């Protein structure tokens, strides 16, 4: 992937073009629910490249999720910021966010189908190599991409940033194709040691290809610089964990997408 990014830079020098990240809204549907996601790509080249799905936190598809999709495009990927709620629903109220999240997560199969509808939009882009895709998610989105892996979604791997860590179901044994990377804060009061232990145990039982980085003393939402606005004690940005987890994701993608 780094070679691909270098090629983009070379093309910019040779042609004199000023490459920019472009974006466009894409409307799609899941079982009658109208959804709107956002595709991001660098226009330095029209060559196909790997694609990454980005799934938002329980607040909805807000500017933070879109920022991460843009950052992925700057790295040379095509990124699609998924909409898991529809109706342009975004909130800063935890109670409202919980209600919207539960509408999606009440049925794991429907949860995976909603994420799958977004993945289909990413793969449909003529800029994406369809068999070189991955998915990342934050908080609720982290749980979402794990559910995608449990359903053997057609991605090479998934990355959960401070995700909810739902346990792999028994029926997933031997059926989890995507590689799994989990990036977790050790001091996250939402996801206690018992949850982590059960999560790890069920992945082992399922025979998954997984790994987990745990950042000591780090709380939930450690990648979000503005998380203090929500006034929740367990939410705290950590610049070191943010930088390390993003770098870890890049190394994971280098492995997934190598030729």
How would you classify the pairing of strands 49-55 and 78-81? parallel
- Tell me the two tokens of residue 26: 């894409």
- Tell me the two tokens of residue 4: 């691909």
Q: What is the CATH number of the domain that holds 99?
A: 3.40.50.1820
Cα dihedral sign, 181-147-96-79: positive
* Domain of 32, in residue numbers: 2-256
DSSP string, 143-179: HHHHHHHHTT-S-SEEEEES---PPPPGGGTTT--SE
Token pair 């179901």 in the structure block, residue: 169
Token pair 């991409």 in the structure block, residue: 145
Strand partners, 160: 137, 182
- Give pLDDT, residue 19: 73
* pLDDT tens digits, one per residue of 57-113: 999 999 999 999 999 999 999 999 999 999 999 999 999 999 999 999 999 999 999
pTM of the model: 0.92
Count structural domains, the chain.
1
Please answer whether residues 112 and 147 qualify as being in contact, where contact means their C-beta atoms are separated by less than 8 angstroms.
Answer: yes
- Classify residue 215 as exposed, middle or buried by CB count within 10 Å of its CB (0-12, 13-18, 19+): buried
Question: What are phi and psi for residue 172, nearest 5 degrees?
Answer: -85, -5
Each residue's pLDDT tens digit in the chain (259 positions)? Answer: 555 555 444 444 433 345 799 999 999 999 999 999 999 999 999 999 999 999 999 999 999 999 999 999 999 999 999 999 999 999 999 999 999 999 999 999 999 999 999 999 999 999 999 999 999 999 999 999 999 999 999 999 999 999 999 999 999 999 999 999 999 999 999 999 999 999 999 999 999 999 999 999 999 999 999 999 999 999 999 999 999 999 999 999 999 999 7
- Give pLDDT, residue 15: 39
Tell me the C-alpha to C-alpha distance, in Å, between residue 249 and each of 93, 108, 160.
29, 25, 9
What is the greatest pairwise CA distance in the chain? 56
How far apart, in whole angstroms, are the C-alpha atoms of residue 49 and residue 39?
13
- E strand segments, the chain: 21-30, 33-42, 49-55, 78-81, 128-138, 157-161, 179-185, 210-215
Chain centre to alpha carbon of residue 4: 21
Q: Within a 10 A sphere around the Cβ of 254, how many other Cβ atoms?
A: 12
Q: Decide: helix, strand or coil at residue 51.
A: strand
Strand partners, 34: 29
Token pair 């991605």 in the structure block, residue: 155
Chain centre to alpha carbon of residue 111: 14
- Give pLDDT, residue 4: 54
């Amino acid at each position: 992937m780094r070679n691909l990014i270098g090629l983009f830079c070379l093309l910019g020098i040779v042609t004199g073009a000023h490459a920019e990240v472009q974006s466009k809204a894409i409307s799609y549907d899941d079982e009658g629910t109208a959804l709107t996601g956002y595709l991001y790509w660098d226009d330095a080249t029209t060559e196909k490249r790997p694609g990454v799905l980005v799934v938002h936190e329980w607040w909805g598809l807000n500017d933070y999720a879109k920022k991460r999709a843009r950052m992925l495009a700057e790295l040379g990927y095509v990124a699609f910021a998924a909409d898991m709620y529809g109706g342009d629903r975004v909130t800063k109220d935890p109670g409202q966010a919980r209600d919207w999240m539960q509408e999606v997560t009440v049925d794991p199969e429907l949860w995976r189908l909603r994420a799958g509808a977004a993945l289909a939009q990413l793969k449909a882009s003529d800029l994406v190599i369809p068999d070189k895709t991955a998915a990342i998610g934050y908080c609720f989105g982290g749980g979402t991409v794990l559910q995608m892996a449990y359903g053997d979604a057609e991605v090479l791997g998934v990355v959960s940033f401070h995700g909810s860590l739902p346990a792999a179901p028994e029926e997933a044994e031997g059926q989890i194709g995507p590689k799994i990377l989990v990036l977790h804060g050790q001091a996250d009061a939402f996801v206690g040691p018992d949850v982590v232990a059960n999560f790890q145990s069920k992945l082992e039982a399922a025979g998954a290809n997984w790994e987990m980085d745990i950042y000591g003393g780090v709380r939930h939402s450690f990648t979000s610089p503005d998380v203090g606005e929500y006034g929740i004690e367990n939410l705290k940005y950590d610049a070191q964990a943010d930088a390390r987890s993003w770098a870890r994701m890049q190394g994971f993608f280098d492995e997934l997408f190598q030729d």
